[in-house]
Structure 1
Amino acid sequence: IIAIDITKATLEAVKEHGLSQKEAVRCKNMWTLGLVYWLYDRDRQPTIDWLNQKFKNRQDISRSNVAALNAGHAYGETMEISGERSAYTVSEADIPPGLYRTVTGIEALSWGLVAASQKTGLRMVYAGYPITPASAILHTLSQLKHFNVITFQAEDEIAAVCAALGGSYAGALGVTASSGPGIALKTEAIGLAVSVELPLIVLNVQRAGPSTGLPTKTEQSDLYQAVFGRNADSPLAVIAARSPGDCFNTAIEAARIATKYMTPVMLLADGYMANASEPWLIPDINSIEDMKVEFHSETQAFHPFQRNDDTLARSWAIPGTPGLEHRIGGIEKSYTSGDISYEPENHQIMTDIRKQKIDNIASDIPLQDIEMGEENGHMAVVGWGSTYGPINRSVQRARSNGKKVSHVHLRHIWPLPSNLKSLLNGFDKILVPEMNTGQLVTLIRSQYLIPAIGLNKISGQPFKVSEITSAIQKHLES
């Protein structure tokens, strides 16, 4: 460990350029960056060009920052230390060519929703209430109103979800977001969305709980809440993003399912993913498949619970359209007329239909694939959400040591992919790392009677690669 007085070294490097003490101290980030560039054998010129362009009207600042950058690099070159001190060269990344930018999970979620609204041909109505770590979705979307986005900060979580659901009733793409405590408050209205069968996207940016818990710390403890957390039989679709950039595509998938099947969809992210950033290949918007919504227009024998024979989705008619006037609400409806019905047989039919509609989504999502490794072996490490990175790296390490280990990562949590059971049965052991006490493990065991093993971390911090690597080794040897 080498102690460096970076502030002193920076002030010495920039003293001839005439900056104030306060401005000079600010250059220490560039000094540090210069040292990092030496450590990793990176070219300084792109940064120098950027500094000269950014501060072209303040040459003293640009020259000072360049001087600090060069001084930090020179410090690394001239350090008098024993042992190996050559730079560590990072090889070129094996990634598709194209234009990249840095993106956070919040940004990608917001942009994905906007892209989805454009591809469905719907105005988006986003209604939210401030809560860490989901608040920034409202901030981001409020700056995108030129894409036919309406944003509304409600007085509480219940008002927010009801406003979003009202937007869907009026023919818009209704969206709301929160974290665990806020999702709990929204639960009754989400059940209403299940009952009236309207598309609604619910973003759950998870944080450590229960109750207020640790608002700024990450966790994956809302899977039970997403899949089962409503009164009565109230099924909905649940999907999960794996990384900041993946939030974009996951938001589009949520909109596709919601509008095609006339159902609420809960999209799970978490605080770590929401605030983290990564390089993101800016997609060609024209390559994203259209999902144009066609509202019901046939007035002959219309009632609001007429269904598509293939998807079982009910018809979506704009209220107030001549000949298509209708009312919906939380009391059970007749399968044949859409009127209020208390008939026992009808309630059985409607409950079964709502369940079957969600179950049918399994045939409309991709088959589960293997992220790394073979389709059978000694162990499959199964994850969901932001555990993707450490799991993938851990499996890579195990495979480099000759272990027959594969990585399976779920996007569709409910319903589960139709081939998942047969895929998991191809492995001797199933290890499930997740930031909760074992919620996906419970789901896998209950659905498939597979003795999955949990690796659980509930510290408010993401997994380290070393933690999963050690668990893989331990269970392979046991």
Structure 2
Amino acid sequence: MQLTGDRFTSATAVFGNDLATLPDYPAEIRAPAGTLAGVSAFQIHFSSHDILTSGDSPGVLVAMNPAALKANIKDLVKGGLLIVNEDSFERRNLEKAGYGEDPLEDGSLDSYQISKIPMTKMTMETVREFGLGKKEAERSKNMLALGILCWMYSRPLEPTLEWLTKKFEKQPKILEANIACLKVGHAFGETAELAAFEVKPAPLAPGRYRRITGNQALAFGLIAGSVQAKLPLFLGSYPITPATDILHELSRHKNFGVRTVQAEDEIAAISMAIGAAFSGHIGVTTTSGPGLDLKAEALGLALSLELPLIVVDIQRGGPSTGLPTKTEQSDLMLAMYGRHGESPLPIVSAYSPPSCFWAAIEATRIAIKYMTPVILLSDGYLANGAEPWRIPAISKLPNISTRFASQPNVGDDFWPFLRDDETLARPWAIPGTPGLEHRIGGLEKADGSGNISYDPDNHEYMTQLRAAKVKAIEDDIDPLEFDGDADAKVLILGWGSTYGAIGACTRRLRARGKKVARAHLKHMNPFPKNTGEVLKRFETVVVPEMNMGQLSRLIRAEFLVDAISINKMKGLPFQAGELEAEIERLV
């Protein structure tokens, strides 16, 4: 089903609609087929105008078996169109899904428009001539369903045909079977006179577009940052859901000087990245919450060494193994404070799939300019969700200057911790450069010389210096902007993937005459310099988060603003409707 949704998304992007998607699949590699635990779903919201979220309640639901129906029927709007594979509604499958009676016959679905299609029989008849086994043949029914949807929404078949040809070029029988099913489904939609919908292309700004997921955008942004900095990129990564796609994507781009290593564990992965940063690379490691836990000690080492390291955390439901394939925003406090000692570091947050590209470049810029590790926060919703992305011109990318130390800086000696007056960054010296011999390590360093020091006054000074370096970044980032009525009394403040839901909710409230404003944080540490000023303009600040109120607590502590929390921890993103109702209840 993920493949079907992905192909429909690509066809929709080619057609020119704006869109947003929500893939939703189980954590098990092979969950029992036909059970509620094994249901894999894919939601797409597309329109002729700009789209901010993957949608609240779908108007069309395609259920391939009873379990899929039971898991998702609650989300379908009343009067919506329900398309079912009627062949799968046999007693065995009904029992596995927990149905006592056939819902297609007992009247429980009378509030929906139902289209019952014998997809399995149609598929088996279509592929009989290709001599496939039963399992391979049945898999083709997803292409038949895709063909039906493409007819209903006038989606072009060409993108899917091209993809199938490339995917199965070495398996001609499977290729022919899938193409045949796609075309049969398309023809069936026309001959059966199914409901047809016209969704015209969206008026997008001129430019070249492509469909992109958050993880793809992160990978491209890291590459762009390395190119702009004229530095090779090294990724040390241990596979973990939902971050692994970044490793896969970066491994395809060796032509840009990218080096990737699949490490044996999380600690090895970050240690390799630290070593790469020491040797003059942009060191990157990718992970999710459980992996960030394990990287904590090495991240403290990178902070002590003051090396440019980027740690990408694709947040998921926790604690422990938690919900590997479900989204959450529960690592903000971990990113802020999850290291022993006083160890502040910059935190950058992406807020949409395309914004992941720019967040990666920004993390690269900060890491290099200030010689510091940076944590980049995304989450499962952004990582797997897709949107159209307007490919930027190279001239629009920021310049990232890199300066390596080239000569001694104190007489004939090289002091590795003699700092830049503006950024407080230490010099970056490549090992092996004549005259720049120096040592690094986790023990506290003397200011300037970098020699091991246990002096209490020096330790306090170095602690304050490291904090001041991070604090100074607030003068080098964009101020917090808000949009809304000048006399609005309510501000909805967000971060990360709540961006779309907050935007859609704000639109709805304003359309009903409510005066509300919105603002969205992209830098979580330090906050933009004017954050306190913006917050105190409003009588009420509401903070929706997919956690128990982590940003709200930071806001209260930092700015003495009594922020109101709206929290959700269901492994799914906020819906604009539920956010709208909750804000009206609270304010």
Query: Same fold, TM exceeding 0.5?
Result: yes
Q: Which residue of 2 aligns with 1:367?
A: 479
1:408 maps to 2:525: no
- What code does the residue aligned with 1:350 have? M
Aligned to 1:470: 581
Residues 1:144 and 1:472: Cα distance change in structure 2 (over 3 Å): same
> What one-letter code is carried by the residue in structure 2 that aligns with 1:159?
A
- Check whether the contact 1:313–1:357 (CA below 8 A) recurs between aligned residues: yes
Distance 1:14 1:254, change over 3 A: same
Q: Following superposition, which runs of at least 4 residues in structure 1 exceed 4 angstroms of deviation?
A: 8-15, 17-31, 37-40, 43-64
Q: Which of the residues 402, 426, 432 maps onto 1:320?
A: 432
Aligned-pair CA distance for 1:262: 0.5
Matched, 1:159 2:268: yes
Structure 2 residue 145 is the aligned partner of structure 1 residue 36: no
User: Residues 239 and 411 of structure 1 are in contact (CA less than 8 Å); yes or no, is this contact kept in structure 2?
Assistant: yes
Q: Which runs of 5+ in 1 are unaligned?
A: 80-84
Distance, in Å, in 1 between the alignment partners of 2:246 and 2:144 is 34
Asked if residue 279 in structure 1 is aligned to residue 392 in structure 2, the reply is no
CA contact (8 A) 2:409 2:415 kept: no
Whether 1:68 and 2:185 are equivalent positions in the alignment is yes
Q: Does the CA contact (< 8 Å) of 2:161 and 2:179 recur in 1? A: no
Once the two structures are overlaid, the 10-residue window that deviates more, 96-105 or 107-116, is 96-105
- From 431, 448, 466, the counterpart of 2:559: 448
Q: What are the within-5 Å matches in structure 2 for residues 113-152 of structure 1? A: 113-152=222-261
Query: Aligned partners of 2:188, 2:124: CA distance in 1, in Å?
Result: 9
Find the residue that maps to 1:427 and give its secondary structure: coil
Aligned length: 465
- CA gap of 1:175–1:52, structure 2 versus 1, over 3 A, is closer
Q: 2:446 aligns with which of 328, 331, 334?
A: 334
Which is further off, 242-251 or 87-96? 87-96
Are the structure 2 counterparts of residues 73 and 390 from structure 1 closer, same or farther at C-alpha, using a change threshold of 3 Å?
farther
Structure 2 residue runs without a partner (length 5+)? 1-111
Secondary structure (helix, strand or coil) at the match of 1:3 reads strand
Aligned to 1:307: 419
Cα pair 1:133 1:216 within 8 Å, conserved: yes
Cα contact 2:126–2:177 (8 A) shared by 1 = no
Classify 1:91/1:380 alpha carbon distance in 2 versus 1 (closer, same or farther; 3 Å): farther
User: Counterpart in 2 of 1:266?
Assistant: 375
**Which residue identity does 1:150 align to in structure 2?**
R
Q: Is the deviation greater in 337-346 or in 231-240?
A: 337-346
Determine if contact 1:376/1:426 at 8 Å carries over to the other structure.
no
Distance 1:319 1:60, change over 3 A: closer
Report the Cα distance in structure 2 between the residues aligned to 1:382 and 1:136, rounded to whole angstroms.
30
What letter matches 2:462 in structure 1? M
Tell me if structure 1 keeps the 8 A contact 2:123–2:144.
no
Inter-CA distance 409–123: structure 2 relative to 1 (3 Å threshold): same
- 1:22-64 deviations in Å (ceiling 9; x for gaps): 7886665455445435654x36576698699989998897566
In 2, distance between residues paired with 1:434 and 1:312?
34
Q: What do you get for the CA RMSD once the two structures are aligned?
A: 2.6
TM-score by length of 1: 0.90
Contact 1:191 1:230 in 2 (8 A): yes
From 376, 379, 389, the equivalent of 2:500 is 389
Specify the alignment match of 1:99 in structure 2.
208
Question: In 1, are the aligned partners of 2:147 and 2:184 still within 8 Å (CA)?
Answer: no
| Partner Cα separation in structure 1 for residue 526 and residue 444 of structure 2 | 24
Instruction: Tell me, in whole angstroms, the C-alpha distance in 2 between the residues paired with 1:351 and 1:51.
Output: 54
Cα distance change of structure 1 residues 277 and 47 upon mapping to structure 2, 3 Å threshold: closer
How far apart, in 2, do the equivalents of 1:4 and 1:287 lie? 51
- Give the CA deviation at 1:298: 2.6
Hey, what does 1:82 align to over in structure 2? none
SS in 2 for 1:182: helix
Alpha-carbon contact 1:51-1:65 (below 8 Å) kept: no
Q: CA 1:26–1:126 in 2, change beyond 3 Å: closer, same or farther? A: closer
For the 8 Å contact 1:239–1:413, the answer to whether it is kept is: yes
- How far off its partner does 1:368 sit? 0.9
> SS in structure 2 opposite 1:340?
coil
Q: Distance in 1 between matches of 2:309 and 2:451?
A: 23
**What amino acid maps onto 2:225 in structure 1?**
A
1:293-330 CA-to-partner distances (Å, cap 9, x unmatched) read 11011324120001111111111111221111100111
TM-score normalized by the length of structure 2: 0.74
